[in-house]
Structure 1
Amino acid sequence: MNLFSSFDPSSNWNLSLNWSSTMIGLLIIPLSFWMIPSRISIIWILIINNLHKEFKTLLGPKIKGTTLTFVSLFSVILFNNFIGLFPYIFTSSSHMVMTLTMALPLWLTFMIYGWVNNTIHMFAHLVPQGTPPVLMPFMVCIETISNMIRPGTLAIRLSANMIAGHLLMTLLGNTGTMLSIYMINILLIVQIMLLVLESAVAIIQSYVFAVLTTLYSSEVN
Structure 2
Amino acid sequence: MMTNLFSVFDPSTTIFNFSLNWLSTFIGLMIIPYSYWFLPNRINVMWNNILMTLHKEFKTLLGPNSENGCSFIFISLFSMILFNNFLGLFPYIFTSTSHLTLTLTLALPLWMSFMIYGWINHTQHMFAHLVPQGTPSVLMPFMVCIETISNIIRPGTLAVRLTANMIAGHLLLTLMGNTGNSLSLILLNLLIFSQILLLLLEFAVAIIQSYVFAVLSTLYSSEVN
TM range (shorter): 0.7 to 0.9
Larger gyration radius, structure 1 or structure 2: 1
Partner of 1:145 in structure 2?
Answer: 149
- Deviation of 1:36 after TM superposition, in Å, equals 2.9
User: Judging changes above 3 Å, is the alpha-carbon distance between structure 1 residues 47 and 148 closer, same or farther for their aligned structure 2 residues?
Assistant: same
Residue 82 (structure 2) pairs with residue 43 (structure 1): no
Change in Cα spacing, 1:69 to 1:85, as seen in structure 2 (3 Å) is same
Paired with 1:115 and 1:174, the residues of 2 have a C-alpha distance of 51
Deviation at 1:61, TM superposition (A): 1.6
More displaced stretch, 30-39 vs 104-113? 30-39
Q: What is aligned with 2:221?
A: 217
Cα distance in 2, alignment partners of residues 40 and 214 from structure 1: 26
Matched, 1:165 2:169: yes
Closer, same or farther: CA 30–195 of 1 in aligned 2, 3 Å: farther
8 A contact 1:104–1:151 mirrored in 2: yes
- Structure 1 residue corresponding to 2:61, chosen from 58, 62, 69: 58
Give how far 1:66 is off: 0.3
Give the conservation status (yes or no) of the 8 Å contact 1:32–1:38: no
8 Å contact from structure 1 (residues 32, 40) kept in 2: no
Aligned to 2:26: none
CA distance in 2 between partners of 1:102 and 1:144 (Å): 21
Once residues 221 and 36 of structure 2 are traced to their aligned partners in structure 1, the CA distance between those partners, rounded to angstroms, is 35
Q: TM-score, normalised by structure 1?
A: 0.85
Aligned pairs for 1:20-35 within 5 A: none
2-side partners of 1:135 and 1:109: how far apart? 30
Q: Which runs of 5+ in 1 are unaligned?
A: 1-27
Q: Aligned equivalents of 1:91 and 1:134: distance in 2?
A: 48
Q: What is aligned with 2:103?
A: 99
Partner of 2:187: 183
The one-letter code of the counterpart of 1:49 is M
Identical aligned pairs, as a percentage? 73
Amino acid at match of 1:164: A
Instruction: Provide the residue aligned with 1:113 in structure 2.
Output: 117
**Residue type of the alignment partner of 1:128:** P
Residue aligned with 2:179, SS:
helix
Secondary structure (helix, strand or coil) at the match of 1:130 reads coil
Partner of 2:22: none
Count of matched residue pairs: 194
> What's the CA shift string for 1:192-212, capped at 9, x where partnerless?
000000000000000000000
| CA offset digits 1:8-43 (Å, max 9, x no partner) | xxxxxxxxxxxxxxxxxxxx9999987633110011
1:6-17 to structure 2, matched below 5 A, reads none
Query: C-alpha separation between the residues in 1 aligned to 2:38 and 2:112?
Result: 43
RMSD: 1.7
> 1:67 — aligned with what?
71
Query: Partners in 2 of 1:168 and 1:82 — Cα distance?
Result: 17
Return the offset for 1:62. 1.4
Which amino acid counterpart does residue 61 of structure 1 have in structure 2? P
Task: Give, in whole Å, the separation in 1 of the partners of 2:186 and 2:84.
Answer: 35
After TM superposition, what 4+ stretches of structure 1 lie above 4 angstroms from structure 2?
A: 28-35
